[in-house]
Structure 1
């Protein structure tokens, strides 16, 4: 398949899927993708994962295990529509205070609407800002989560350093992302589905196939599990590990600020 995975040294700063682009232009191009798909974001994730993203997110929150006590603070980055935030609040018995941060106002708008409908608006705030420049003081949060968003950040190393900065000592990073399949027969089936079917279905369902083409290609460009774990360690995190889901189609990485 055309396009190679990057290494821990990076390489995604100047790529838009398989295209080479000006580094200054990438963020705006990615932002436009999510403006276009915001209202159909759940459909997008269902198409990309065959509906499995819901189970993977449940598993991520189970691993996070939010405490059922007041005062515990979570920052969920690139989480505009609220999928992770809602799960975290519910898992904490309504005690967690969650800040949802996203660079995309359209995605945040969807999240705010969903929070109101679920009666959870008083347990979370929605902030429009860049993962590479978080508008929070040092040591502000007990945990930092990001699900299917880190590969869309142009400078992943900068975002990881910012995550480390805003976490308290003893705080934890959890990152859920599409990753590298470790079972060759599954990989062949998954890539055929991804590159041939997903953009076409996206076109049929949403009337716009181009965002799905970018998202599929961006998965192939993302570092594999070991290389991404090395990036997390380089940002200062310790006890870095990961869990593969569905043969490595997705992986959840964990790291601690100790």
Structure 2
């Protein structure tokens, strides 16, 4: 589908815009799952080295304090909607540096709220084991980060292991890897950038044309007509001082 979106051969991207852009007959739209599949599901088809380049760039750019082993990752895997009991986050990424691993637990939102105030807390505390939490980072991605901020304010159980990202920040990383050495990763980044632009995630890059304003030809000031000063100022009537408030109760 990314190719169809890029070449304007499909209008299905309207499903991910505001309600007014959708057809009335569409009914419920599984926006988050489809956007996840379009953006990150296609990344899974690339070589592990390319998958690792994207995620390590994301971390070094937006979470520089997260402890990553030195050197290039030797392996990377992505599990979509993994289930453990009743918990099912959107994505679990495993990055490897030989025998060392780092886990990225990812929850993605697209114009929707969390599934309960404690959704992120349960994912971190119950989905991951204590051993996994020791090498993990919890990533929340949304149109904005308000839901993640509310979760942190409610109870901060992450101790610095929560990363809040907007889709615009994800796009900045996608644009960053467009110049990667991998042709496959570069191609993926170009298509994902086009798709995100169609669904309203696009940076402001300035105006193509911005002609100067034409001022009227005249010898008089265009805005300020001048002033002849103040003839007199009358003092306002001040009420007698009482114990009662003058303006409000």
Question: TM-score with structure 1 length normalisation?
Answer: 0.34
Higher helix residue share: 1
Higher strand residue share: 1
- By relative contact order (CA 8 Å, sep 6+), the higher-ranking structure is 1
Question: TM-score with structure 2 length normalisation?
Answer: 0.35
